[in-house]
Amino acid sequence: MNKKSIPYIFIIPALSLITLTIITPLILMIRVSLLKPPEGKGFYIPDTFSFQNYQSVFDSYGISILLNTIFFALEVSFFSILLSFGFAILIKKLSNLWRIICLICLLLPKFINPLIIVFGLQRLLGNHGIINDSLINTHLINEPLDLIRTHFSALIGEIYLTIPFTSLFLFSQLNSIDKEIHNAAIGLGASNYQVFRKITLPLCYPGIFIIWQLCITWNLGSFLGPLFLGNPSDTTISCEVYHQAFEIGNWPRAAAWSILMTAIIIAFLLIPRLTISYMFKENSK
């Protein structure tokens, strides 16, 4: 066997798997998105060419879904990073045993089907759910509160699905900060708040930036929360893709939406990164 070909033997299986499952479908999807939508039969009309799917993606309904998705992703990532930063700081203060227990509790939702979390939330927040029932039983309210099928419940659902990742990541980020810096600041007379504001937070900025980007990319694809817990006006692109592909059977439209979504995600990944590297270049001059 030729010695030069050895590295390629190691990488070819994985690369062919990725090519088969990600890259070919993406290219195929561009072609499918340019086909004409079906007229009652099949999933598309083969051997046609038109831009009408992209036109229908950018009509007024399409644009409202688009803005909704981006706004929803920003909201979820903001709240989940805020909450999990709090968790990370609290967990860091605990003794070792309790820290491990807390981390296991955080990880547990990831070993359970996310649908079960959604189901639990439905039973918790529903009109005859636990919260409403117990409030009515204690005569605090007379009518059940509208908790489910609102923007709030969709938000809560998605936060539940995101928080384990963000808090673990921020926890490891906080843990990697050198303890001596903290001690030095305290020794020089800084208060706890000052240490947090002037030392801990600035050292966490790079980590927060990375996790913010990951959060955005995950939640641009948020699906379960808006579909099961949100009201119809909270539809996101993922719900629309599912709706078009399965319930209507209009594959070209679904493919057009998917292409648009991939473009948005790549933009959200690249633009902040490029801006920051450009800013640092300006500074170092």
Partner 1 sequence: MKKISITIFLLSAFAFILSPIATSLSIAFSPDSFLTIPTNNWTFKWFYEFFKQSRWTEALIRSLIMAIGSTFLSLATGTPLAYAMTRLNIPFKNIIHGTILLPLIIPPIIIGMGALPLFYMTRLNGTLIQVVVMHSCLLLPIIYLIIKNKMQSINPDLEKIAMGLGAGIFETLWLITLPLLFPAIVISGICGFAISINETMLAIFMVGPTNETIATLTWSELKQAPTPLIVVGSIINFGAILIGVVAIKIASIKS
> DSSP code of 34?
T
> With respect to partner 1, which residue has the nearer C-beta, 26 or 285?
26
> With respect to partner 1, which residue has the nearer C-beta, 128 or 285?
128
One-letter identity of residue 108: L
| Binding test (CB under 8 A) with partner 1, winner from 61, 64, 110, 191 | 110
Residues 28-87 touching partner 1, rule: CB under 8 A, are 28-29, 32, 43, 86-87
One-letter identity of residue 60: S
Region binding partner 1 by CB under 8 A among candidate stretches 54-62, 115-123, 180-188, 196-204: 115-123
**126: Cβ–Cβ under 8 A, 6 or more apart, which residues?**
132, 147, 148
Task: Name the minimum Å distance from CB 285 to partner 1.
Answer: 26
For partner 1, what does the binding mask look like between residues 1 and 30, x meaning CB under 8 A?
A: -----xx-xxx-xxx-xx-xxxxxxx-xx-
> With respect to partner 1, which residue has the nearer C-beta, 107 or 276?
107
The count of other CB atoms within 10 Å of the CB of residue 41 is 7
Task: Name the minimum Å distance from CB 17 to partner 1.
Answer: 5
Query: Alpha helix (H) ranges present in 114-178?
Result: 114-125, 130-137, 151-175
97 touching partner 1, by CB under 8 A: no
> With respect to partner 1, which residue has the nearer C-beta, 93 or 285?
93
Distance CA(203)–CA(195), nearest Å, equals 11
Residues 169-228 touching partner 1, rule: CB under 8 A, are 217-218, 220-221, 223-224, 228
Task: Name the minimum Å distance from CB 153 to partner 1.
Answer: 11
CB 268 within 8 A of CB 220: yes
242 touching partner 1, by CB under 8 A: yes
Q: Which of 29, 65, 109 is nearest to 236 (CA)?
A: 65
Q: Which of 124, 152, 149 is nearest to 231 (CA)?
A: 149
3 state DSSP class of 236: coil
